[in-house]
Amino acid sequence: MPSTSISTSMRSSVLSTYACSCAFSVSPSSMRSSSAFRRIEVAFAGRSNAGKSSALNTLTNQKSLARTSKTPGRTQLINLFEVEDGIRLVDLPGYGYAEVPEEMKRKWQRALGEYLQMRNSLKGLVVLMDIRHPLKDLDQQMIQWAVDVGTPVLVLLTKADKLASGARKAQLNMVREAVLPFMGDIQVEAFSSLKKIGVDKLRQKLDTWFNEIPPEVLPEEDIGE
């Protein structure tokens, strides 16, 4: 059985040290390809126009780790990115895009729910939402799924550069107040890929999650049909 330990040099600041080596791993249509392993995963979720791909590229100091597009809904699979052995980022399908067929929407939503509630290796969820239009119904559903199974959540209010400083602070405080009823481990921060607002806080949170040693992980449930 392979060891679950992560070297001290890796654990000190995983994203700061290893960002440039982060690489695409696999893009399964479901999680059936997963076998028994011990691994730490942090998932990124958000509406199709929330700036998720841009955030991942900024986070890892890469221009095209995650594909960006002016067409919302481009990410239609669960994309896995290896940061280091035993550590990976998970780019979940964007949700809420009106032009996606209803059957596809249902498939994505089912896969997202099952992933968040059944993935033993998931140590944290980053939910991205436009700071000007936060906490839509599906955003709240993602948070609720995570809270229900005790997964900590980092809410990133993206495109924070679109608001003046005062309006940005007011919106940040409003969302922090609004998530209190979820009664979960939820942190809310303003974020901008363009202006690098909140990038350090995102990396600090990921380092905290990556420093957790994962428990014994059994063969995982199949996710998605």
CA pair distance 84, 178, nearest whole angstrom: 35
pLDDT at res. 2: 37
- Indicate the number of domains in the chain: 1
Q: What is the CATH number of the domain that holds 115?
A: 3.40.50.300
Q: What is the pLDDT of residues 66-111, one digit of tens each?
A: 554 444 444 567 788 888 878 889 988 888 765 667 777 777 778 7
Asked if residue 115 belongs to a domain, the reply is yes
- Per-residue confidence (pLDDT) for residue 213, from 0 to 100: 62
Domain membership of residue 223 (yes or no) is: no
Assigned domain for 198 exists: yes
Q: Which residues of the chain have pLDDT under 70?
A: 1-38, 64-76, 97-100, 213-225
Helix, strand, coil % in the chain, rounded to nearest 5: 35, 20, 45
Domain that holds residue 204: 8-210
Question: Does residue 183 fall inside a structural domain?
Answer: yes
Q: What is the pLDDT at residue 20?
A: 47
What pLDDT is stored for residue 189 in this prediction? 99
Burial of 11 (0-12, 13-18, 19+ CB in 10 A): middle
Identify whether 224 is part of a domain: no
Q: How far apart are CA 197 and CA 24, in angstroms?
A: 25
> In whole angstroms, what is the distance from residue 62 CA to residue 82 CA?
13
Report pTM. Answer: 0.80
DSSP 131: T
d(CA 108, CA 46): 12
